[in-house]
């Protein structure tokens, strides 16, 4: 297999639970040796997709290819795909060592004891848990459990590891550390990680590629930058939680919204007409300011939220829609605002993203 | 789902279930069907043959003693059910909800259950020296000076059967209720207090409704056991109290299989109605 | 003074003698949004439960609207609590849950229903009023809990990790809602959290607790920019702490002699920074600049004075509009720097050399 | 909550309640030390003696009171209880395992199984003996027909215990095992079974004690040879003597022994975990 071959490929994978369609004809190709983040809101089908690839569930329709082989009808234990669970799913009755050794000991191919010991020790060492081999899973912390789960999968030398919200059960500080570590571990091994998450920051931070899943379909697939800077449809922008989105109408190259009419150079095809401007591209001006860079949106200041490295200012438009402005503190001190006072928001129209039914141009 | 794996899963489920299901059909459902069938057989003095007839049924409803036994069974069941609930609920409330320490609550529950590891028959029998004319209760009451002559109605009467059954079966009421009460999230009760509710309201609006599945499960246990009883009434009533169960035992003893079957069918119907009635209140399967 | 809530010399000692809360003092004005923040076991939840009445106060005074409530039962206190698991009544539908508190007060049916409708409408729950609560989502359950508490018009709303049970991408929108709701109602909110981002985003003042004691009470920005202790500096934000000895003072800044040279930071707490005192400079990750090594030295000196430390860029990562930079000093120590991508894009590359630089006013000095 | 008033009242109540449960036992225990052979099964105690215990083991000189026919009955009851325990537990584990996946007709199968504990013993017993007598035409024995009826009775208990255990069992450890290339059968042996073992132990205990003490079904469904409860029942119809009280005390002690074995087996695993956790604290 050459470097550019896909490690796995999904063809029209569909999974239904009763009336609910969890996966709706998913086509997907994943490059070998990469970190793929699968981003989706809860209920988007992301966990179903992972479970179908792992073989815990079978698709109603479609085929799954892994390393050039159709594995759709193969049971989970014959697939050779690793899985890391959100709750870690460590074997509570076995020590850390035996947890990691489990697959080598009881798998289909017999591995000599000496080799098991070597591989398990190497694997435990790689995740930085040497010395804890004899502990039980209930005697280690959440972050350590996460590492054991990872070591247990990686010791089998899989070509693909599926991670189901692996950081979801960890607290915020630990989550950040594990992000860096997961990436570093993967880079050392020739393995593809498919990491499912509901957090857009996590997906953007971790994936070499990000796929956005919504209602059982992949609505965008690309590099983190491309997803963030140019969401393909308004749902992606919505889900990124970083855009003020305005409804309105797009006609003859003009978008009519709460901020007046703006001329639009290009628009992306979408079911509805939506005008989106990122929080950190939206700027605050006095109500009577005249030197605006673009459209003028009159607003009333409600409150601010301090995020440590940035401040979010919350405003309300005339039709009671909340609009957010993000000011990163590395750009200097923000201006002082008075609660209840009126201001005008504006932005450079070139930085806005417009979605519309009338997309041609 | 792809056909191969669907079938694999179905076969698996089938294999796991088949032995148990077959066992229950052959050795539970078939015997009950058999009772229904035999109740229509013809009974001669020492034998029965499979000529179908309604004679045994007619005999049952013609006999005052038999119909009386039906009413006695229903009456005793209602009384014992009520007593086990009234006596058991407060105990369950304490054990399941009010005791804060898990250990104490477990110890109390175990204490309640321990008697069950003594033979049922001996438990019944133990009431005799307790209730008799020269029994412990009469002796104590006389010593204390509450009574002059021993109360005779305590033993070999309907009362002794009721006392005995209540004691034996009350734990089946306490257990499920305490279990349900123990599952109530303490935050829910705190939330209700926080909204200003006093104990009375919390009990009637929160605690009791949430323990209801336990009450129903307990009631089913007690009903099933009391309705099928014959040993307690046999041992403690001095043959004065005849339940449907007692009649079945006597009839089988004198090889009157057809009549025993008629009583069996009536008992089955009675039970069916009672259990179905209780199951309308809760879905047993969901509570487990 | 019209304080909504006052805790004066409050102590809590458990029956087995372990102290849980030690000398807690706090005055809360009406309409404030207060956060108790700290690691687990620091006493923050115990304090909240003392305010609600579910834990007794061992000693000290607990006053609500000027009235001492130490001995008042929780059902009599004008507080209402949002539990972390929401503690909805599982056998009641949404409306019945919200109605419960009014029924307790024996409010006339018509009036109670009107109030319930109002609050359901305000929280966007009208559509699901008749649904059983079991099948609803985390966000909806939380709003029901809010409605149930708010409908009885408490003086103080207490919230125990209100966002803890929600999944990550829901958390942010609920956070906004909560903040705006509190502003709108003007009721005092007190909430407990172990997540600093929640505390920073939501509250007017944060009470940082550690091992039963208050470490610091400050508005979020002040806490972030002016930590009063090493504990707070480590617990809040992503700070680099550089120890040194005081060498000089100028314009409210203190100049320290450190392992990395002569460095300065603002003396915001007004510490008596006499020569030779051991102090530390706190560098918040977003308050420092990362200057590429090719910037002329005089330009750098003009901007940052002597506050520069040479470093190697270990790693650059863009997450959305933020650039995360990990750099290492000569002693191998790695620190975090972050900034808006617009400021850094295409100017830095991993493995290159650069300077960590700051204006003294952007860093803070604290006692060592 | 007015638990300040309610709690003490209920505590006293629970004390009385437990006295109600134990009262007859206490009396029974006292009377088992009645003088023999003249003393009857009632008060007053003529004098204290262990006569009836000796009588039980045939250590007393022969008298008009026949020894309880418990020797062989005990062996039969133990054998029957053991057979029942094994069969019911195996069936229970299998059925509960099947119920972890949703399947059509689950409701019907559930109630079919639960019916076994719902139908009173008289009915199962009667039906089984009718079937044996009049359809199959075989003789009834404690090891055949009674065994079938015992399993019908205890299998639902084992099933419900296992269902409750498996409901709380997190299936992701099994999936983790499969994803490590371990086959479902090995996974059950190495992961599932060790983890549900406490539940299996409880199911076994349930099945054993229920069968050991089973009476109405056995009464109808077993033949000439008596099990222990039947032997006791036999003494009901004739005059009772304190020897049966002594026997009651003995069986209670036996049951405690059984319970203790169970308790020790359960406790061992828990204690091991605790001990390791404690070492952790010290370290």
Is the N-terminal amide bond of D37 cis, ω within 30° of 0?
yes
On whether both A271 and A141 belong to a single domain, the answer is no
At CA D190, angle to CA D186 and CA D191, rounded to 5?
Answer: 110
Any domain includes B58: no
Region at B123 (left for phi over 0; alpha for psi -120 to 50; beta for the rest): alpha
Residues B115, D115: C-beta atoms closer than 8 Å: no
Which CATH number is associated with domain C240-367?
2.40.50.100
CB A128 within 8 A of CB A180: no
CB C197 within 8 A of CB C224: no
The enclosing domain of B173 has a CATH number of 1.10.3720.10
Q: What is the mean pLDDT of residues C75-86?
A: 92
Residues A308, C338: C-beta atoms closer than 8 Å: no
Tally of structural domains, chain B: 2
Question: Between residues C263 and D281, which one has the greater pLDDT?
Answer: C263
Tally of structural domains, chain A: 2
CA–CA separation, C174 vs C124, rounded Å? 13
On whether both A215 and A325 belong to a single domain, the answer is no
The helix or strand, by DSSP H or E, that contains position C5, with its residue range, turns out to be strand C3-13
Any domain includes A10: yes
Residue numbers in chain D where pLDDT is lower than 50? 1, 277-283
The helix or strand, by DSSP H or E, that contains position C34, with its residue range, turns out to be strand C33-37
On whether both B124 and B225 belong to a single domain, the answer is yes
Name the 3-class secondary structure at A55: coil
Q: What is the mean pLDDT of residues A267-289?
A: 92
Residue numbers in chain B where pLDDT is lower than 70? 1-6, 283-288
CB C244 within 8 A of CB C326: no
- Out of A172, A310, A314, closest to residue C180 by CB: A314
Q: Note down the domain range covering B20.
A: 1-38
Specify the pLDDT at position B129: 84
CA–CA separation, D123 vs B30, rounded Å? 12
C11 burial (CB, 10 Å; 0-12 / 13-18 / 19+) is middle
DSSP result, C161-229: STTTTS-HHHHHHHHHHHHHHHHHH--EEEEEES-HHHHHHH-SEEEEEETTEEEEEE-HHHHHHS-SS
Per-residue H/E/C for A245-310: EEECEEECCEEEECCEEEECCCCEECCCCEEEEEHHHCEEEECCCCCCCCCCEEEEEEEEEECCCE
Helices in chain A by DSSP H: which ranges? 46-54, 96-106, 113-126, 142-154, 172-188, 200-206, 224-229, 234-240
Any domain includes A361: no
Residues D178, A55: C-beta atoms closer than 8 Å: yes
CB A326 within 8 A of CB A280: yes
Joined tokens for residue A116: 């098991």
User: Would an 8 Å CB–CB cutoff place D187 in contact with chain A?
Assistant: yes
**Residue where the block lists tokens 């009235």:** C67
To the nearest whole angstrom, how far is the Cα of A262 from the nearest Cα of chain C? 24
**Residue where the block lists tokens 């077959």:** B22
On whether both B31 and B148 belong to a single domain, the answer is no
The 10s digit of each residue's pLDDT in A201-259 is 889 988 999 999 998 999 999 999 999 989 999 999 988 889 999 999 998 889 998 89
What is the pLDDT confidence band of residue A117, given thresholds at 50, 70 and 90?
very high
On whether both B81 and B204 belong to a single domain, the answer is yes
Any domain includes B51: no
On whether both A124 and A259 belong to a single domain, the answer is no
Specify the pLDDT at position B288: 53
What phi, psi does C271 have (nearest 5°)?
A: -75, 145
The 10s digit of each residue's pLDDT in D90-149 is 999 999 999 988 888 888 999 899 989 889 888 999 999 888 887 777 888 888 889 999
Q: Which of A80, A89, A98 to mutate to test the interface with D (most CBs of D within 10 A)?
A: A89
Specify the pLDDT at position B271: 92
Torsion, CA B144, CA B147, CA B148, CA B149, rounded to 10: -120
On whether both A170 and A248 belong to a single domain, the answer is no
Which of C251, C283, C245, C280 has its CA nearest to residue C362? C283
Any domain includes B56: no
Q: Which of B27, B181, B227, B274 to mutate to test the interface with D (most CBs of D within 10 A)?
A: B27
Specify the pLDDT at position D11: 92
On whether both A74 and A164 belong to a single domain, the answer is yes
Q: Which of A54, A58, A78 to mutate to test the interface with B (most CBs of B within 10 A)?
A: A58
Spans of all domains in chain C = 5-225, 240-367
Specify the pLDDT at position A81: 94
Which of chain A's residues have a Cβ under 8 Å away from the Cβ of C339? 328, 330-331
On whether both B161 and B69 belong to a single domain, the answer is yes
On whether both A20 and A169 belong to a single domain, the answer is yes
Which of D132, D137, D282, D129 has its CA nearest to residue D217? D129
CB A263 within 8 A of CB A349: yes
- Out of B98, B167, B285, closest to residue D3 by CB: B98
To the nearest whole angstrom, how far is the Cα of C168 from the nearest Cα of chain A? 6
Residues D110, B98: C-beta atoms closer than 8 Å: no
**Residue where the block lists tokens 């965008």:** A220
> Residue A1: is its pLDDT beyond 70?
no
Q: What share of chain A is helix, strand, coil (3-state, %, to 5)?
A: 25, 35, 40
The enclosing domain of A291 has a CATH number of 2.40.50.140
User: Would an 8 Å CB–CB cutoff place A58 in contact with chain B?
Assistant: yes
CATH 2.30.30.90 fits C5-225, yes or no: no
Which of C168, C311, C321 has its CA nearest to residue C240? C311
**Residue where the block lists tokens 């450079």:** A348
Residues B128, D151: C-beta atoms closer than 8 Å: no
CA–CA separation, A140 vs C250, rounded Å? 50
CA–CA separation, C252 vs C361, rounded Å? 9
Sequence-ordered list of residues with C-beta below 8 angstroms from that of A229, at least 6 positions apart, any chain: none
Specify the pLDDT at position A116: 95
CA–CA separation, B233 vs B224, rounded Å? 15
Joined tokens for residue C98: 């919200």
Q: Note down the domain range covering A342.
A: 242-356
DSSP result, A129-145: -TT-TTS-GGGS-HHHH
The answer to whether the Cα torsion of B1, B2, B8, B14 is positive or negative is: positive
C51 burial (CB, 10 Å; 0-12 / 13-18 / 19+) is buried
The 10s digit of each residue's pLDDT in A168-205 is 777 776 787 888 888 888 988 889 999 999 888 889 98
On whether both A179 and A256 belong to a single domain, the answer is no
- What domains can be seen in chain D, in order of their start residue? 1-67+242-257 (no CATH), 71-240 (1.10.3720.10)
Any domain includes B168: yes
On whether both A173 and A71 belong to a single domain, the answer is yes
Joined tokens for residue C323: 């650039």
To the nearest whole angstrom, how far is the Cα of B2 from the nearest Cα of chain A? 6
> Residue C245: is its pLDDT beyond 50?
yes
Which of D173, C57, C133 has its CA nearest to residue A149? D173
**Residue in chain D nearest B198 by alpha carbon:** D1
pTM: predicted TM-score of the whole model, two decimal places: 0.84
Is the N-terminal amide bond of C311 cis, ω within 30° of 0?
no
Pairing of strands A160-164, A82-84: parallel
Any domain includes B47: no
Cβ pairs B/D, distance under 8 A: 259
On whether both A177 and A211 belong to a single domain, the answer is yes
Specify the pLDDT at position B121: 84
Task: Kindly report the average pLDDT of chain A as a whole number.
Answer: 90
Helices D242-282 and D3-31: crossing angle in degrees, nearest 10, is 130
Q: Which residues pair with C292 in a beta bridge?
A: C354
Any domain includes A1: no
The enclosing domain of A26 has a CATH number of 3.40.50.300
Specify the pLDDT at position D281: 40
- Out of A92, A108, A135, closest to residue D181 by CB: A108
């Amino acid at each position: 297999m050459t470097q550019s071959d896909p490690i796995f490929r999904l063809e029209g994978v569909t999974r239904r639970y009763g009336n609910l369609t969890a996966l709706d004809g998913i086509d997907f190709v994943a490059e070998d040796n990469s970190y793929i983040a699968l981003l989706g809101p809860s209920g988007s089908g992301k966990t179903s997709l992972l479970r179908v690839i792992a073989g815990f569930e079978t698709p109603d329709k479609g085929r799954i290819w892994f390393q050039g082989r159709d594995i759709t009808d193969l049971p989970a234990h014959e697939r050779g795909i690793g899985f890391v669970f959100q709750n870690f799913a460590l074997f509570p009755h076995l020590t850390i060592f035996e947890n990691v050794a489990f697959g080598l000991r009881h798998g289909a191919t017999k591995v000599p004891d000496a080799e098991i010991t070597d591989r398990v020790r190497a694997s435990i060492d790689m995740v930085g848990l040497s010395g804890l081999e004899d502990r039980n899973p209930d005697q280690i912390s959440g972050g350590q459990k996460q590492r054991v789960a990872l070591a247990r999968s990686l010791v089998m030398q899989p070509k693909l590891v599926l991670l189901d919200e692996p950081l979801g059960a960890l607290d915020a500080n630990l989550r950040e550390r594990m992000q860096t570590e997961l990436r570093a571990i993967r880079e050392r091994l020739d393995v593809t990680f498919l990491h499912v998450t509901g957090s857009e920051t996590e997906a953007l931070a971790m994936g070499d590629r990000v796929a956005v899943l919504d209602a059982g379909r992949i609505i965008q697939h690309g590099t983190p930058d491309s997803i963030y800077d140019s969401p393909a449809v308004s749902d992606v922008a919505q889900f990124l939680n970083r855009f003020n989105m305005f409804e309105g109408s797009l006609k003859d190259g003009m978008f009519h919204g709460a901020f007046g009419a703006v001329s639009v150079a290009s628009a992306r095809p979408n079911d509805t007409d939506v005008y989106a401007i990122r929080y950190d591209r939206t700027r605050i001006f006095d109500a009577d300011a005249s030197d605006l860079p673009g459209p003028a949106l009159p607003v009333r200041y409600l409150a601010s939220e301090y995020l440590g490295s940035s401040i979010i200012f919350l405003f309300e438009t005339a039709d009671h829609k909340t609009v957010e402005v993000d000011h990163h503190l590395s750009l200097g001190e923000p201006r002082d605002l008075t609660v209840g006072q009126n201001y005008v928001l504006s932005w450079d129209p070139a930085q806005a993203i417009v979605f519309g039914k009338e997309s041609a141009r | 789902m792809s056909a191969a794996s669907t079938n694999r899963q179905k076969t698996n489920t089938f294999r796991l279930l088949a032995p148990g299901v077959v066992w229950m059909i052959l050795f539970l459902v078939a015997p009950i069907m058999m009772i229904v069938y035999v109740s229509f057989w013809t009974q001669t003095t020492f034998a029965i043959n499979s000529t179908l007839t309604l004679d045994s049924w007619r005999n049952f409803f013609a006999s005052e003693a038999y119909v009386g036994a039906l009413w006695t069974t229903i009456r005793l069941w209602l009384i014992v059910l009520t007593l086990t609930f009234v006596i058991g609920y407060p105990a369950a409330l304490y054990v399941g909800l009010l005791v804060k320490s898990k250990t104490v609550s477990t110890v109390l529950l175990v204490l309640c259950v321990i008697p069950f590891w003594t033979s049922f028959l001996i438990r019944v029998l133990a009431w005799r020296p307790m209730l008799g004319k020269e029994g412990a209760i009469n002796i104590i009451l006389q010593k204390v000076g509450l009574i002059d002559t021993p109360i005779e109605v305590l033993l070999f009467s309907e009362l002794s059967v009721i006392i005995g059954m209540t004691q034996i079966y009350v734990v089946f009421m306490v257990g499920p209720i305490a279990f349900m009460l123990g599952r109530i999230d303490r935050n829910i009760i705190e939330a209700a207090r926080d909204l200003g509710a006093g104990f009375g309201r919390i009990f009637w609006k929160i605690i009791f409704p949430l323990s209801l599945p336990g009450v129903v499960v307990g009631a089913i246990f007690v009903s099933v056991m009391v309705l099928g009883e014959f040993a307690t009434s046999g041992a403690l009533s001095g043959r004065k109290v005849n339940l449907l169960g007692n009649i079945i035992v006597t009839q089988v003893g004198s090889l009157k299989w057809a009549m025993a079957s008629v009583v069996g069918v009536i008992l089955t119907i009675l039970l069916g109605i009672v259990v179905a009635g209780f199951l309308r209140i809760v879905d047993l399967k969901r509570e487990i | 003074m019209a304080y909504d809530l006052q805790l004066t010399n409050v102590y809590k000692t458990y029956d087995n003698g372990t102290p849980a809360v030690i000398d807690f003092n706090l005055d809360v004005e009406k309409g404030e949004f207060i956060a108790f923040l700290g690691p687990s076991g620091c006493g923050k939840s115990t304090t909240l439960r003392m305010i609600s009445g579910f834990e007794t106060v061992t000693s000290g005074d607990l006053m609500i609207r000027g009235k001492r409530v130490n001995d008042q039962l929780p059902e009599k206190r004008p507080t209402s609590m949002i539990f972390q698991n929401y503690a909805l009544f599982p056998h009641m539908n949404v409306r019945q849950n919200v109605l419960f508190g009014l029924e307790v007060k024996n409010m006339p049916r018509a009036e109670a229903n009107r109030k319930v409708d109002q609050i359901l409408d305000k929280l966007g729950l009208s559509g699901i009023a008749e649904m059983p609560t079991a099948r609803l989502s985390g966000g909806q359950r939380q709003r029901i809990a809010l409605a149930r508490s708010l409908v009885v018009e408490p003086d103080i709303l207490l919230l125990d990790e209100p966002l803890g049970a929600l999944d990550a991408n829901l958390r942010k929108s609920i956070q906004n809602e909560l903040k705006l709701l509190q502003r709108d109602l003007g009721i005092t909110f007190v909430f407990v959290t172990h997540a600093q981002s929640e505390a920073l985003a939501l509250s007017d003042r944060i009470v940082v607790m550690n091992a039963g004691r208050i470490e610091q009470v400050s508005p979020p920005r002040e806490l972030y920019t002016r930590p009063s202790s090493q504990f707070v500096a480590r617990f809040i934000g992503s700070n680099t702490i550089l120890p040194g000895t005081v060498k000089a003072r100028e314009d409210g800044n203190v100049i320290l002699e450190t392992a990395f040279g002569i460095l300065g930071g603002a003396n915001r707490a007004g510490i008596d920074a006499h020569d030779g005192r051991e102090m530390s400079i706190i560098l918040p990750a977003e308050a420092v600049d990362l200057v590429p090594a090719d910037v002329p030295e005089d330009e750098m000196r003009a901007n940052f004075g002597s506050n520069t430390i040479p470093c190697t860029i270990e790693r650059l990562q863009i997450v959305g509009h933020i650039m995360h930079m990990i750099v290492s000093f000569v002693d191998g120590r790695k620190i975090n720097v972050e900034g808006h991508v617009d400021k850094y894009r295409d100017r830095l590359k991993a493995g290159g050399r650069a300077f960590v630089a700051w204006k003294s006013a952007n860093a803070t000095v604290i006692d060592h | 909550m007015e638990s300040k008033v309610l709690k003490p009242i209920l505590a006293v109540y629970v004390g009385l309640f437990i006295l109600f449960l134990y009262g007859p036992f206490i009396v029974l225990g006292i009377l088992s030390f009645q003088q023999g052979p003249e003393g009857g099964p009632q008060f007053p105690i003529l004098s204290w003696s262990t006569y009836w215990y000796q009588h039980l083991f045939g250590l007393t000189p022969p008298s008009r009171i026949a020894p309880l026919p418990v020797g062989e009955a005990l062996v039969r009851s133990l054998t029957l209880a053991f057979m029942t325990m094994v069969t019911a537990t195996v069936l229970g584990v299998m059925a509960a395992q099947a119920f972890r996946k949703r399947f059509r007709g689950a409701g019907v199968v559930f109630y079919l199984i639960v019916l076994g504990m719902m139908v009173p013993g008289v009915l199962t017993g009667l039906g089984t003996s009718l079937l044996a007598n009049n359809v199959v035409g075989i003789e009834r024995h404690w090891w055949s027909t009674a065994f079938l009826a015992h399993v019908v009775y205890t299998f639902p208990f084992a099933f419900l215990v296992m269902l409750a255990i498996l409901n709380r069992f997190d299936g992701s450890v099994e999936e983790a095992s499969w994803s490590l290339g371990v086959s479902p059968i090995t996974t059950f042996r190495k992961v599932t079974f060790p983890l549900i073992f406490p539940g299996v132990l409880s199911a076994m205990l349930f099945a054993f004690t229920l069968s050991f003490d089973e009476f109405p079904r056995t009464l109808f469904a077993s033949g000439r040879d008596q099990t222990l409860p039947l032997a006791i029942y036999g003494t009901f119809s004739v005059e009772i003597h304190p020897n049966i009280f002594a026997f009651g005390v003995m069986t209670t002690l036996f049951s405690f022994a059984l319970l203790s074995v169970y308790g020790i087996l359960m406790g061992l695993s828990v204690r091991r975990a605790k001990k390791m956790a404690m070492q952790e604290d010290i370290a």
